[in-house]
Structure 1
Amino acid sequence: MSLGPDEFDLDPTLCHLNHAAVGPWPRRAAEAVSRFSEENSRLGSLHYPRWLATEHRLRERLARLVGADSATDIALAKNTSEALSIIAYGLTWQPGDEIVGIAQEFPSNRVVWESLATRGVAWKALDLDGSADPETDLFALCTPRTRMIAVSWVQYARGLRLDLARIGAFCRANGILFCVDAIQGLGALPFDLSRADVDFVVADGHKWMLGPEGLALLYVRPSLRHTLVLHQFGWHMLEHSGNFDRRDWEPAEDARRFECGSPNLLGVHALEASLAVIEEVGIEQVWRELQLRTAHLIEGIDRHGLELLSPRSTERRAGIVTFRVPGRPAAEIYPELMQRRVLCAQRGGGIRFSPHFYTPFEVIDRALGEVLSLAAH
């Protein structure tokens, strides 16, 4: 990799294996925020046009990350939940419409669809625990009333990766909308809208993209933008947003129509710098390096007699590796690991480790050593 040794400045006593929760910032993201803060305190908004140029670069980076045609196809939301809500409450539903999803989804990609029950919309969920072929089983839940399939690209608890191209092809053939929560994949795996054929993509920047909380990607297929009813209004989402004296108005033609107010420029500076790191390495190389680390972790889990809960096949894996310690509940192991500065999560009935492309193999081995030490007590 082309990164310098000081690109990440993590405390060497810490085993950071929690990118599926909140990732650490690269050094340059922290420096970008520091510069922005210092400039703001000394010069105020003197260089506001330069800040907006950084915002545009961020949109360009996000467009390249998902394979969108233009930076103007990218809206910046506050978080994944807000982005999903814009979609859910922007579409016009009819009583009896159905949404097909997965029972084990993170609440953000479940509650928003369940909330549409007040409009007569049914959310039908696939139980992954009983599914050997989740795509086929998702398709089997669909009926002529199915309006949308809404799933996470990578399931948060155990890291199952769905075949987006296969689901997208099914949706297109059957006139079904396809919404993907990509938060557990973007920044870790290559994503290509031209292959996945997705209508909506959402993802917060604070996990694998290594950015801050409070800033998320929202992509809406351009042909669908005008079909979403807007429920938030303000100066920023107007077509002529800079003409404050203009009395007539209309929403912007591009994705900015989903952004009602002032941008989160502090977050913009951090996320733009973080994505610069990923682009310099290259997302294909990021994915290769991450696969080496998850394979190393799984080999250690197997070698030490731990129980792997995540998918074993490379086609189904992503960056999440969840495992169980035989004879020890995860609820006991997790707080003890955190006390030993092994940053992880309790998910999916086990302990979830989520390294990234830059994670030293020694950190993975040290964390497994702490697990084994606790298991022996």
Structure 2
Amino acid sequence: MDNKFNRERWHYPVLDRYTYLDTATTGLIPQYACDAMNTYLQNRTDLAMDIDDYHWQWEYADDVRDGIAEMIGAESGDEIAFGQNSSSLFNIFCNGLVFEKGDNVVIYENAFPAMTYVWLNLREQLGLEVRVAGAVNGETAPESLFSLADEHTKAVTVCHVDSGNGYRHDLKTIGTWCREHHIPFGVDATQACGAMQLDVKDMKIDFLTTSAYKWLQGIQGIGFAYIDKDFMKKLKQSEMGWANVQDRINGGPFDMVISEKASRFENGGLPAIGLYGLHETVKTYMRLGGRDIEDYILDLTDYLYSEVQKLDGFSIFCPHQRAYRSGLVSLKLPAGLGLTEGLIREAGIRAKLQGQDRMRVALHYYNNTRDIDRLMEYLKSCIKK
């Protein structure tokens, strides 16, 4: 398996310059995805685009939807909608629900702000009650969420992987409970999709969003949402544009027959450049195999856990059991180490500092144990200094 993933490193020129451990901020773009996007842009520059080309792009978008559906276990591309990013797509879920006086939603304290601000905004606008589950050692147990829900709960939402400490939520347990209690279940998978396996049907997820510029190795400005076909019927249409209808090509100004597919939430033209890159990385994910990718990344995480224990003064911030780990790990640094991201970069390493005492390390399938060894060697040298 290692050889398969080590061969993938050939597609990332930046790895010749840096030990890259910062996918949780932005993923690397492989050369083949860059080439696909550049080819599209060059063709637009050289040949322009007529209306037939523009219409064909929607057919291409449907091919990308089908690939994504296969990757995450959706029924078909009809359950996939494209958008600018996870934050904007998550608003489709929150603003598409119907709330009455006394209703509530359940979230948790370590969620990324994109998952909390929209609910807080609805609290201000509608008086919606927002119930917040606490965390113990960086982990929010499913039971903590369940204990806050009642007959007035209209949604439970979590991030698949927490961006602060890498905790991976048990989506199947949460989703199964929510489905049994008829509570919509929403997930932000931005820190997981492309690295940790997803099976949206088995996990009983009603709505899932992700941006493409992290673990999916795309560009900013494109993401997608999965919307379960049965749940889709329960969402109200809060926005409208020319592309939300069944016949977006031939429809007239008063032919508003809304599509029954997830594309009903796409108001207009799609980010074509990003689609070309995303299509390539999704195909690579399928070629490498989702189970192999997850296992390989978790093996790297296990190796990082073991190596950190050998460093005096260092530890894992909020360590998790393997079942709840991801490719994202937060290291606790000794006091007074004096690291800056500038110093780390000068040493040929890319990682994110979380304040003065923590470092976030993000491991993808283009990493290997030598990358971890190089980071450990650098941190040892910092201790000596």
Q: TM-score, normalised by structure 1?
A: 0.94
1:199-348 to 2 correspondences below 5 Å: 199-245=206-252, 247-305=254-312, 306-328=314-336, 332-347=339-354
Deviating more after overlay: 126-135 vs 155-164:
126-135
Q: 1:56 aligns with which of 57, 62, 67?
A: 62
**SS of alignment partner, residue 11 of structure 2:** coil
Find the aligned partners of 2:27 and 2:372 in 1 and give their Cα distance. 16
**SS of alignment partner, residue 353 of structure 2:** strand
Report how far residue 199 of structure 1 moved: 0.8
Q: 2:121 aligns with which of 101, 115, 130?
A: 115
User: Where does residue 26 of structure 1 map in the other structure?
Assistant: 30
**SS of alignment partner, residue 187 of structure 2:** strand
Letter in 2 for 1:28: Y
Letter in 1 for 2:85: N
Report how far residue 18 of structure 1 moved: 1.0
Deviating more after overlay: 167-176 vs 123-132:
123-132
**SS of alignment partner, residue 45 of structure 1:** coil
User: Where does residue 381 of structure 2 map in the other structure?
Assistant: 373
1:91-240 to 2 correspondences below 5 Å: 91-118=97-124, 119-129=126-136, 134-240=141-247
User: Where does residue 43 of structure 1 map in the other structure?
Assistant: 47
Report how far residue 132 of structure 1 moved: 6.3
Find the aligned partners of 2:186 and 2:252 in 1 and give their Cα distance. 38
Alpha carbons 1:240, 1:249 under 8 Å: kept? no
1:7 aligns with 2:11: yes
Report how far residue 8 of structure 1 moved: 2.1
Find the aligned partners of 2:370 and 2:185 in 1 and give their Cα distance. 40
Alpha carbons 2:133, 2:140 under 8 Å: kept? no
Alpha carbons 1:289, 1:358 under 8 Å: kept? no
Alpha carbons 1:54, 1:272 under 8 Å: kept? no
1:82 aligns with 2:88: yes
- Compared with structure 1, are the counterparts of its residues 279 and 248 closer, same or farther at alpha carbon in structure 2 (3 Å cutoff)? same
User: Where does residue 16 of structure 1 map in the other structure?
Assistant: 20
Alpha carbons 1:333, 1:374 under 8 Å: kept? no
Find the aligned partners of 2:8 and 2:94 in 1 and give their Cα distance. 43
Report how far residue 258 of structure 1 moved: 0.3
For residues 275-311 of structure 1, the C-alpha deviation after alignment (integer angstroms, 9 at most, x for no partner) is 1221111111111211221112111111113110143
Report how far residue 137 of structure 1 moved: 1.4
Alpha carbons 1:182, 1:203 under 8 Å: kept? yes
Alpha carbons 2:134, 2:140 under 8 Å: kept? no
Alpha carbons 2:167, 2:320 under 8 Å: kept? no
Find the aligned partners of 1:48 and 1:72 in 2 and give their Cα distance. 20
For residues 143-174 of structure 1, the C-alpha deviation after alignment (integer angstroms, 9 at most, x for no partner) is 33222111101111101111111111211222
**SS of alignment partner, residue 101 of structure 1:** strand
1:66-77 to 2 correspondences below 5 Å: 66-77=72-83
Find the aligned partners of 1:132 and 1:37 in 2 and give their Cα distance. 44
Find the aligned partners of 1:130 and 1:22 in 2 and give their Cα distance. 26
**SS of alignment partner, residue 19 of structure 1:** coil
Find the aligned partners of 1:137 and 1:131 in 2 and give their Cα distance. 13
Report how far residue 190 of structure 1 moved: 1.4
- Runs of 4+, deviation exceeding 6 Å: none
For residues 62-107 of structure 1, the C-alpha deviation after alignment (integer angstroms, 9 at most, x for no partner) is 1112111111110001100001111111111112211111111111
Report how far residue 246 of structure 1 moved: 5.8
Q: TM-score, normalised by structure 2?
A: 0.92
Letter in 1 for 2:65: R
Alpha carbons 1:325, 1:375 under 8 Å: kept? no
Find the aligned partners of 1:307 and 1:148 in 2 and give their Cα distance. 36
Find the aligned partners of 1:89 and 1:309 in 2 and give their Cα distance. 35
**SS of alignment partner, residue 238 of structure 1:** coil
Q: Where do 5+ consecutive residues of structure 2 fail to align?
A: none
**SS of alignment partner, residue 6 of structure 1:** helix
**SS of alignment partner, residue 104 of structure 1:** coil
Letter in 1 for 2:101: P
Report how far residue 373 of structure 1 moved: 2.2
- Compared with structure 1, are the counterparts of its residues 181 and 5 closer, same or farther at alpha carbon in structure 2 (3 Å cutoff)? closer
Find the aligned partners of 1:213 and 1:268 in 2 and give their Cα distance. 11
Percent identity over the alignment? 23
